Amino acid sequence: MGSRLTEEQSDFVAAIRDFAKHECGTREQRDALTGGGREAHHPGLYARLAELGWLGVCLPEEYGGAGGGLADACLFLEEISYGMVPAGGFVTTVIAAKAYERFGTERQRQEVLTGAVRGDVLSIAMSEPGAGSDVGALRCRARRAPDGGWLVDGQKTWISNAHCARSILLVARTGEDKHAGLTMFHLPAGTPGVEIRGIETMGGREVNDVFLTGVRLPDDAVVGEVDGGWRQLMAGLNYERLFLAANMLGLARRAFDDAVTYVREREQFGRPVGSFQALRHRIADLATEIECARLLVREVALDCDAQPDRLFPREASMAKLKATETAKRAALEGMQMMGGYGYTTEFDMERHLRAAVVSTVYGGTSEIQRDVIGKSYGL
């Protein structure tokens, strides 16, 4: 794709930028919407995005979506991230929605996909205190109930957006095989036996512990096949890694632009600090890295759209690795170039850093992405 967007895509990007500038263009607006940067998701603004029809960008038309592809969804994520639109619920929502689209029953798709288009937030519960990168080690267990249905007990942790989700896509153990014993379940908000406790982080309120005690779920809560959860998770890695990459690509661009604006205006020794070679070279290197990340994310998204049934583990991992590491570097370099001002809450750079630094951890750490890439070469 490179920088060559279709006319429709160019208009879409322009509309998102205009929305972000109007709704979130000032620090005062962003602080009001996010509680001073503590909240990543604003329900009211998210509802506005739903009214514009943007939340269904890559969901099927029969469920109210726009019927676009991954490339369109990545453009949307990149631009709302760049514009600092507090729509943090979208990433987990679209990842979960694609799983329901692919594996859910018609009833589940009608409920979940149409809800996502209307503005419902979805969450995914996989990680546990003893199962992070090693998802196959999870212990949250779903057992057949004597009178029908399922009984679920266990704990999940680091669950993004569980506190504002309409439903959670829960991954639980239903068999003894490490990988062939996992199942996905549809868990509606407010289900008895579910307790959600927020985890305070340097990024504010984003993630949660989810405790499940004697949770009863009906037989039709299963998403896909019993004991087929691992295969279904693997089938969704293209979506998860690409969406996270696009999100951080937007943040990298924003951190870069904020840094460039600052070094153009800040003067020391009688001239703008950006005119010194040390900073010019940093800017040049960052610009190059961001452009590489942009081209990689968009090209992989196009490949996935062209072959929707094919897995791209190497390419999707490359996109996630490159974009997240670039975002972290852009925020760190931006803070260094801004000096003490980059460290203050008066400027957005410290907020960019808090958002970027965790991106190399969630959704598969950079180390895991490198391992996946290495193994794809037979190593």
Instruction: Provide the whole-model pTM.
Output: 0.94
Question: How many angstroms separate the CA atoms of 165 and 190, rounded?
Answer: 10
Q: What CATH class does 7-120 carry? A: mainly alpha
Q: What is the pLDDT of residue 236?
A: 87
Question: How many angstroms separate the CA atoms of 218 and 188, rounded?
Answer: 11
123-226, what's its fold? Butyryl-CoA Dehydrogenase, subunit A; domain 2 (2.40.110)
231-377, what's its fold? Butyryl-CoA Dehydrogenase, subunit A; domain 3 (1.20.140)
Going from N- to C-terminal start, the domains of the chain cover 7-120, 123-226, 231-377
Q: What is the pLDDT of residue 1?
A: 40
Q: What is the pLDDT of residue 3?
A: 55
**Residues in the chain with pLDDT < 70?**
1-3
Question: How many angstroms separate the CA atoms of 373 and 379, rounded?
Answer: 9
Give the length of the chain: 379
Half-sphere exposure of 78 (CA within 13 A, CB side): 24
Q: What is the pLDDT of residue 134?
A: 86
